Amino acid sequence: MDAADRLLVEFLDAQRQRVFEVLAGLDDAQLLKAVLPSGWTPLGMVEHLGHAERHWFQEVALGTADPLPWDDDGSGPLSTSQAPDVVFAFYREQIARANAVLASTSLSKAPIGVHGSGREPADLRVVVLHMIEETARHLGHLDAARELINGEVGLGPDDL
């Protein structure tokens, strides 16, 4: 992996780490608290990020993915009925699987699977860029939710 590709992966890893930092210290009730009218919860957002990692780095990049650890529980978009430790473990596992793909696959390689949007990524580099954007966008949502839940701000500071 060249220096530019390593930097992309480092940026993605930094965004992922900030998700954990922004939510650190919240109790189960706070992680399951919807603070916006759309009804999403911080924990539901973490589960969503895990699904995004799985989709892009397994289904799209590799063309296959292991089965999900649980069935859709019908709890609605960006919410979950799973316990916090289960959801955080799922997200960590999907990050580890994604990192294994990144460590063993050139970022210039075309994905084997499809996203299904009609506009497929040309290579794994596009997938990494998308996941930086996806994670950072939802990290902003989590930042705002954390402030609404308990007034804390400035968590997971940018160290670049």
The CA distance from 16 to 61, in Å, is 19
Give 8-26 as a DSSP string.
Answer: HHHHHHHHHHHHHHHHTT-
The CA distance from 1 to 106, in Å, is 7
CATH class belonging to 3-150: mainly alpha
pLDDT the model gives residue 155: 64
Mean pLDDT value across the chain: 91
Cβ count within 10 A of residue 160: 5
Those residues with Cβ within 8 angstroms of residue 98's Cβ, 6 or more apart along the chain or in another chain: 53, 56, 57, 58, 131
**Chain segment 1-51, per-residue pLDDT in tens:** 899 999 999 999 999 999 999 999 999 999 999 998 989 999 999 999 999
Residue 83 φ then ψ, to 5°: -70, 150
pLDDT of 82 higher than 70: yes
pLDDT the model gives residue 74: 61
pLDDT the model gives residue 70: 80
Instruction: Provide Rg for the chain, Cα atoms.
Output: 16
**Chain segment 90-110, per-residue pLDDT in tens:** 999 999 999 999 999 999 999
pLDDT the model gives residue 156: 64
Confidence band (pLDDT; 50, 70, 90) for 69? confident
**Chain segment 124-151, per-residue pLDDT in tens:** 999 999 999 999 999 999 999 999 999 9
B/e letters for 90-117, b = 16+ CB within 10 Å, e = fewer, are bbeebbebbbebbeebebeeebebeeee
Question: Are 156 and 22 a contacting pair, CB within 8 Å?
Answer: yes
pLDDT the model gives residue 160: 59
Confidence band (pLDDT; 50, 70, 90) for 116? confident
